[in-house]
Amino acid sequence: MASCKCKDKYFEKEPEKRSRKDKYVTRFDRLEIFLDDYTLRNPYTIYGTSYSDGNHLRNWGPGIFKNQIQELQKLLVKGENDGLFSKIFDKDKVQKLKTETLYIPDYVFVKRNKFNGSETDRFEEKEILEDYKLDYKIISIEELNSKILNGEEIIYLSYIRSNTDKFISIVNSKTGDVIYSLYRPMSYNFSDKDMKIIQEDIED
The whole-number pLDDT of residue 118 equals 77
CB atoms inside a 10 Å sphere around CB 64: 24
Question: Where is 198: in which H helix or E strand?
Answer: helix 192-203
Pairing label, strands 155-162, 102-105: parallel
Residue 121 CB-half CA count within 13 A: 10
At 79-135, the pLDDT tens digits run 766 666 678 999 999 999 999 999 999 989 988 888 777 778 899 999 999 999 999
At 44-74, the pLDDT tens digits run 666 665 555 556 666 778 898 899 889 888 8
Pairing label, strands 165-172, 155-162: antiparallel
Assess contact for 131 and 195: CB atoms under 8 A: yes
pTM for the predicted model, two decimal places: 0.76
Q: Percent of the chain at pLDDT above 90?
A: 45
Which residue in 7, 6, 24 sits closest to 15, CA to CA? 24
